[in-house]
């Protein structure tokens, strides 16, 4: 009997005492989703849940407990504030849900371009976008591989219960070839993808492996154009047979600007705007030298001289520089012979040859005068940042002379008048 009594006492020690409801004692009943969880009130151990609950007796006259903590190995600890203390014979319910401690993490991998093969610590895991799950906390090596692009490496740390994001931006493998260009006749201007490269015969190295547009331009011949495909490590040969042009009196000018949308002037006459893609072509331009000006708000004007040949196309590429465009230009006046007086809008400006700077953009009347010569007049248009030219070829003033048919009559009249005077004198 003594042994049985001891065993009963030991078993009862692990089971919280539940007194009969009444007196000054009340209870907190802790409900938990996990059996075997330890319960603490204000840090004091109160027992272990069994069968989903634990009853904790409290005295209504004692100092109230404030906080409850429930914990079990492998689960996240739970802490909360206790509800108001129960009165004598009352029971207050406390509900606790323990969450298991996450022991694994994950990695989410994306790539640009999408579809790169992903290797984790050297082992293939799939193609991006990809989520690699159930990874133990620690540091891992990632590699992204995509055909035609440089492989990329990354090191990522995985933490329990967290997802680490990794993005690979792959760079294309730049491949190059060569192009050898010749023409008949030689000396043609070569353009690749619209950019001037030199004159034939010409070898271009380090040409990116892709399709390129080749254009050849030679005065007196039709423009020649083709598209070639350059492969890595391969030399492409281009031989252009230039077709001669019939005799022509006009040509064309192609104008492109960076940025696009700029106003184009040919010899200070407006021609249009450069398109966002392609070129502005000025047709039927007479053979000779011309001035092309490209203007865009917020950028400095671009001005250049262009030579135009018959039935050929000249090219102008204007890389505009930021800044305010020049609001004035110049007028250059020469004369033959020199030393003539210059008047602009009837205001004297000096003696030829002379360049007048700081002239506001606009149209002006020019008059050139020199003693013994007829005045010469013209009008010029001054563009912003450009120089307008006026060249006067002066003609001498003609001296009036007697007509040949009048000379005999003048002599006879003079003799008759002289005879009459002599006769009158003798009578006296």
Model confidence pLDDT, tens digit, residues 16-46: 444 334 458 999 999 999 999 999 999 999 9
Q: What is the pLDDT of residue 67?
A: 95
Among 11-15, 180-184, 398-402, the least confident range: 11-15
Residue 173: name the closest of 109, 118, 232 by CA. Answer: 232
Check whether 78 has a pLDDT greater than 60: yes
Neighbours of 264 (CB within 10 A): 23
Averaged confidence pLDDT in the chain: 85
The CA distances from residue 411 to 215, 408, 415, 425, in Å, are 81, 5, 6, 22
> 105-169 adopts what CATH topology?
Immunoglobulin-like (2.60.40)
Q: What is the pLDDT of residue 418?
A: 53
* pTM for the whole structure: 0.33
What is the arithmetic mean of pLDDT over 119-147?
93
Residue of 194 and 16 predicted with greater confidence? 194
The CA distances from residue 58 to 14, 48, 55, 78, 219, in Å, are 18, 16, 10, 21, 109
Q: Compute the half-sphere exposure of residue 145: CA atoms within 13 Å on the CB side of its CA.
A: 11
Q: What is the pLDDT of residue 329?
A: 80
Neighbours of 71 (CB within 10 A): 15
Task: Kindly state the tokens that stand for 148.
Answer: 């035609």
Is domain 250-319 in CATH 3.10.129.10, yes or no? Answer: no
Q: Name the CATH superfamily housing domain 176-241.
A: Immunoglobulins (2.60.40.10)
Contact yes or no for 171/165 (Cβ under 8 A): no
pLDDT digits (tens, 9 = 90+) for 244-286: 876 667 889 999 999 999 999 999 889 999 998 889 999 888 8
pLDDT tier for residue 14 given thresholds of 50, 70 and 90: very low
3-class state of residue 406 by DSSP: helix
Q: Do domains 105-169 and 250-319 have the same CATH topology?
A: yes
Share of the chain above pLDDT 90, in %: 58
What is the arithmetic mean of pLDDT over 182-209?
92
Task: Kindly state the tokens that stand for 380.
Answer: 């010029």
pLDDT digits (tens, 9 = 90+) for 299-317: 999 999 998 887 788 999 9
Q: Name the CATH superfamily housing domain 20-96.
A: Immunoglobulins (2.60.40.10)
Contact yes or no for 132/105 (Cβ under 8 A): no
Q: Which CATH architecture has domain 328-393?
A: Sandwich (2.60)
pLDDT tier for residue 95 given thresholds of 50, 70 and 90: very high
Cα–Cα distance between 134 and 143 in angstroms, integer? 19
Contact yes or no for 295/315 (Cβ under 8 A): no
Q: What is the pLDDT of residue 324?
A: 67
Phi, psi for residue 136 in degrees, rounded to 5: -65, 145
Contact yes or no for 235/180 (Cβ under 8 A): yes
- Report domain extents, the chain: 20-96, 105-169, 176-241, 250-319, 328-393
Phi, psi for residue 341 in degrees, rounded to 5: -80, 140
pLDDT digits (tens, 9 = 90+) for 387-426: 888 999 999 998 654 444 444 444 444 455 555 454 544 5
What secondary structure letter does DSSP report for 404?
G
Check whether 350 has a pLDDT greater than 80: yes
Q: What is the pLDDT of residue 251?
A: 87
Cis preceding linkage at 197, omega within 30: no
């Amino acid at each position: 009997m003594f042994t049985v009594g001891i065993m009963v006492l030991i078993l009862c020690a692990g089971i919280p005492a539940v007194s009969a409801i009444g007196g000054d004692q009340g209870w907190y009943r802790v409900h938990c989703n996990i059996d075997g969880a330890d319960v603490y009130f204000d840090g004091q151990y109160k027992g272990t849940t069994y069968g989903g609950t634990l009853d904790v007796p409290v005295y209504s006259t004692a100092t109230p407990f404030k906080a409850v903590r429930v914990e079990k190995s492998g689960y996240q600890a739970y802490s909360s504030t206790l509800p108001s203390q129960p009165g004598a014979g009352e029971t207050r319910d406390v509900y606790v849900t323990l969450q298991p401690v996450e022991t694994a993490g994950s990695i989410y991998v994306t790539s640009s371009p999408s579809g790169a093969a992903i290797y984790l610590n050297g082992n293939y895991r799939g193609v991006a976008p990809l989520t690699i799950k159930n990874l133990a906390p620690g540091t891992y090596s990632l590699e992204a591989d995509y055909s035609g692009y440089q492989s990329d490496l990354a090191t990522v740390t995985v933490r329990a219960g967290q997802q680490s994001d990794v993005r690979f931006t792959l760079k294309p493998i730049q491949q190059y070839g060569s192009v050898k260009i010749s023409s008949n006749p030689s000396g043609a201007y070569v353009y690749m993808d619209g950019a001037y490269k030199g004159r034939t015969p010409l070898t271009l190295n380090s040409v990116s492996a892709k399709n390129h547009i080749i254009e050849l331009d030679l005065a007196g011949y039709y423009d020649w154009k083709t598209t070639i495909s350059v492969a890595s490590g391969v030399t492409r040969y281009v031989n252009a047979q230039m077709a001669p042009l019939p005799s022509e009196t006009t040509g064309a000018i192609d104008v492109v600007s960076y940025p696009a949308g700029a106003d184009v002037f040919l010899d200070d006459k407006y021609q249009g705007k450069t398109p966002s893609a392609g070129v502005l072509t000025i047709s039927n331009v007479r053979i000779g030298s011309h001035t092309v000006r490209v203007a865009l708000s917020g950028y400095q004007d671009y001005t250049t001289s262009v030579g135009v040949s018959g039935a050929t196309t000249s090219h102008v590429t204007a890389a505009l520089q930021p800044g305010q465009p020049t609001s004035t230009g110049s007028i250059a006046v020469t004369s033959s012979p020199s030393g003539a007086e210059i008047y602009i809008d009837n205001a004297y400006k000096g003696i030829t040859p002379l360049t007048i700077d700081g002239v506001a953009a606009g149209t002006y009347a020019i008059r050139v005068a020199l003693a013994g010569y007829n005045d010469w007049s013209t009008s010029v248009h001054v563009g912003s940042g450009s120089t307008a030219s006026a060249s006067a070829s002066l003609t001498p003033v003609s001296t009036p002379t007697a007509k040949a048919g009048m000379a005999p009559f003048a002599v006879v009249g003079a003799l008759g008048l002289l005879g009459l005077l002599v006769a009158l004198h003798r009578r006296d």
